[in-house]
Structure 1
Amino acid sequence: MLRDVPLARLLCTMYRFYCRREVTFQQTENDSFLLYFRQVKLTRESVQTEFLWRLARASRDLALLSTLEKNQACFAAHKWFAICLSDVGDYEGIKVKIGNSYTIRNHLEQAIELNPKDATSIHILGYWCFAFAELAWYQRKVVAVIFASPPTATYEEALAFFLKAEEVDPNFYSKNLLMLGKTYMMLRDVKPAALWLTKARDYPAVTEEDKQVHKEALELLKKLDG
């Protein structure tokens, strides 16, 4: 499998494949990287697409790990390592995501300790807490079967982080406003929920994410009114 190939060799193989556009599968049938793609029956165009995103991910991860090895006091490296590790779980499944969760939290906590004024790290840790607080009982049972000590969190913990992020840098991120509203809703505290959802709705919609936040805030406000 691809993950069994040493990273250095993998990157060299990927680079060679990218540079030699005329290469054929027959010429490289002993190459672990290309053999992997043959096994999953990808076309040449798909291989190039698959290769490019894997190269980007591997390069990113390698750079972050190298930074952390050289300087454990770099808060941004801890933050982005946590973000990247979370991204891995998004496409490798719930088992990987849960398995990485403690490492993600650890790096976020280190980032916040190194830079308590970074609202983004605080927000992400709040989101981490919200995600695990939101797990349904049956999902918790499934997770408990796989992991002896699955991660847990409460909405109160999530709320504390979202509020702290807002205190550090008021109105810095539309999603933080939305998550404050959603967390208060989960705690059945309607008045502050409406307040923060209104702030999220009225936040200038500059990015695509802002537009999605605006839409969700509107929908949640309608639920509160109903």
Structure 2
Amino acid sequence: MSFFRQNATIISGIGASVLLGSGLTLLLVRLNSISRDLRQLAASVAKLRDEVKDFQDKFTIRKRRRLQGFYSVTASSGDDDDDIYQDAYGGSDLESLKELTGEYVQLTENSTVGTDIAAKDIFKQTEDLFEGSNDDKQLAYELLITNKSKISGTEEFYWRLSKSAYLLAQIFNEQGNPERKKELLYEAVESATTSLSLNEQDGNAHKWYAITLGSLNEYQSTQDKIKNGFLIQEHTKRAIELMPSDPSNHYMLGRWCYSVYMLSWLERKVAATLFASPPTATIEEALDEFLKADKLKPVKWKENMLFIAKCYIELREYDKAKEWLNNASKVPIKDANDKEAQVELETLISKYG
């Protein structure tokens, strides 16, 4: 009996070992499975984090450029997400916001940052963005539109919105979207008109009304073009009176003079029929304004230099025209207007250069 009991004990021990081994194997399998699941979860979290970051970069906290000394203020819809961003960045304390250099921070309606302070800061950032890339210019437009309910009570907001819509229209034109371009140009004129209605003593309001009104030429009849021509001249001259050192005002008046000088015979007949005193200008007047713009501009301006050359061509001073054409061609291309100017420059250089 002892033999059987001893063997039974041995068999029982072997069975226990087998069971223990099976248990350990099962445990290891489960641990490996859990480890694999954790790695997959970590990868999913990392992917989700990247997607959230991309979303924030596009729509919420954009670090397009470092704006030293600026803090950013954008309007809030009052949603929970806005409160989350508030908490994440330490609330709406002014000094905390100033430390967030270059970031666009969502503020709630209860923000302690005053409307005037917010407006000044947004205007500063918008001006910087206007000088940046296409993405920066689009961000400037979004920044103004988003904050319209908070800071739209002044002419300064509306002429900047007009400028922003105009710049964005050029981008859509470059991208082959003429419908959106047209919408934005009419929007730009409307904003400039509002700016003028709020303060007729603001030179930028006159300036952007003249620029945006002139941009509608391709959608208008000859009669409307000539009619608006008087308004463009009037507001451009007023802008020069209020801001005589702004080179773009002189450039605009130069373009007006050049366009009137270059009117076709038919357009002149229409103007004479519709108006007792049709618009008149000489090529010398146009050249004078373009040269003033060139003198006032701190950096070389390809488009303005092109028109100086075109004026010298009309005056048959071909040596001067050739010099301006060649110098203008060397100026780096920065935007869509420069691209168009470069095409015309190369055509004229092949003929006169």
Confirm or deny a common fold (TM above 0.5): yes
Q: Is the 8 A contact 2:260 2:279 kept in 1?
A: yes
Aligned CA distance change for structure 1 residues 51 and 138 (closer, same or farther; 3 Å): closer
Q: Give the counterpart letter for 1:209 in structure 2.
A: N
Which portions of structure 1, spanning 4 or more consecutive aligned residues, are displaced by more than 6 angstroms? 49-55
SS of the aligned residue for 1:124 comes to: helix
Is residue 2:301 matched to residue 1:173? yes
1: CA distance between counterparts of 2:182 and 2:316? 43
Q: Which moved more, 1:50-59 or 1:132-141?
A: 50-59
Change (3 A) 1:53 1:161: closer
Preserved contact between residue 222 and residue 267 of structure 2 (Cα < 8 Å): no
Where 1:203 maps in the other structure, the secondary structure is: coil
Hey, what's the Cα distance between the residues in 2 that align with 1:87 and 1:51?
Answer: 14
1:192-211 aligned at under 5 Å gives the runs 192-211=320-339
Instruction: Compute the displacement of 1:53 (Å).
Output: 6.9
Indicate yes or no: 2:323 matched with 1:189: no
The amino acid that maps onto 1:120 is: S
Is residue 161 of structure 1 aligned with residue 326 of structure 2?
A: no
Letter paired with 2:324: W
What are the Cα deviations for residues 100-159 of structure 1, in whole angstroms up to 9, with x where unaligned? Answer: 111111100111111111111110110010011012334322331233221111100000
Residue 251 (structure 2) aligned to one of 123, 127, 144: 123
2: distance between equivalents of 1:103 and 1:164? 22
Which of 128, 135, 143 lines up with 2:263 in the alignment? 135
Matched, 1:223 2:351: yes
- Aligned-pair CA distance for 1:214: 1.9
Cα separation, partners in 2 of 1:66 and 1:141, compared to 1, 3 Å: closer
- Which residue of structure 2 aligns with residue 109 of structure 1? 237
Map of 1:70 onto structure 2: 198
In the alignment, the residues of structure 1 paired with residue 350 and residue 190 of structure 2 have an alpha-carbon distance, to the nearest angstrom, of 46
Q: Following TM superposition, by how much is the alpha carbon of 1:52 offset from its aligned partner in structure 2, in angstroms?
A: 7.0
Match of 1:196, SS state, is helix
How far apart are residue 51 of structure 1 and its match?
9.7
Is the Cα–Cα contact under 8 Å of residues 171 and 177 in structure 1 kept in the other structure? Answer: no
Is the deviation greater in 73-82 or in 57-66?
A: 57-66
Unpaired runs of 5+ residues, structure 1, are: 1-48
User: Aligned partner of 1:178: which letter?
Assistant: L
In 1, Cα distance between the equivalents of 2:284 and 2:178? 41
Alignment partners' CA distance in 2, 1:175 and 1:54: 22
The partner residue of 2:211 within 83, 98, 107 is 83
Any idea what the Cα deviations from partners look like across 1:28-83, whole Å, max 9, x if unmatched?
xxxxxxxxxxxxxxxxxxxxx99977765565334322322222221111011011
Distance 1:170 1:163, change over 3 A: farther
Residue type at the aligned position of 1:219: T
Higher relative contact order (CA 8 A, sep 6+): 1
TM-score, structure 2 normalization? 0.46
Matched to 2:350, the amino acid is: K
Shift of 1:190: 1.0
Say whether the 8 Å CA contact 2:309–2:322 is kept in structure 1. Answer: yes
SS of the equivalent of 1:103 reads helix
Alpha-carbon RMSD across the aligned residues, in angstroms, is 2.4
- Look up the match of 1:37: none
